[in-house]
Amino acid sequence: MVATGSIADARAQALRARAEATEFRYKYGYEIPVASLAKRMANLSQLYTQRAYMRPLGVALTFCQVDTEADGEGRGPEIFKCDPAGYFQGVAACATGPKQQEATTYLEKKFKKTRHVNGDWQATVEFAITALSSVLGTEFQKNDIEVGVATAAGFKILSPADIDARLVAIAEQD
C-alpha cells in the first residue's frame, strides 16, 4: 500500500487496512485479494464524507499485488487506486501527488498500445525512473529517489547501488 496525503490519515488508513487484511485471513484462511481490500478501504473512506461531524480523510491510497493462485494461474500484477471520496479503480499504471495529471498523461501515451512494460523488473524500473524524470524535468542521482519492486517472490527496496545501475542503463540508452 502506498499513501499520499496527510501523514496522520495515512497512518490510520494503513493500520485499518492491516486490520481488515488480518480479519479476512482469520475468517477465510487465505490472503485478501487486493481488489477486495481496495473496495473495503474505499467504502470506509466514503463513509467519512457522509456526516458533518466526521472530517473526510485527506489521503489517496494505491494498492498493488502480484496475483498468483495456488496453481500458478493468477491475473498477474494488479494496481488499485482509491481517492478520499471513496472512488476506487483498477489501473495499469498510476500516479499520485502534485504532478498527477502530467504523469497520468505521460503514462497513458506510453501505454496506449500495450498494458505493460516489456521486459523484466529492471526494464520496469528504468521505465518508471524515465517517466518520473520526464514529468519532473530533472535528472536523478542514486540518492535522489527510492525504488521499491514488487514481484511474485516478494517486495524489496533497491539499494543506492542498484538504483545507480538502472540510472547508468538509462543513460546508455540515450
User: pLDDT, tens digit, for every residue of 100-125?
Assistant: 899 988 888 887 777 677 778 888 89
Q: Is the pLDDT of residue 71 over 70?
A: no
Return the amino acid letter for 37: L
The residue ranges of every structural domain in the chain are 1-91, 95-173
Q: Which residues pair with 154 in a beta bridge?
A: 151
Confidence class for position 74, pLDDT limits 50, 70, 90: low
Distances (CA, A) of 90 to 38, 101, 122: 9, 17, 23
pTM (two decimals) = 0.81
CATH number listed for the domain at residues 1-91: 3.60.20.10
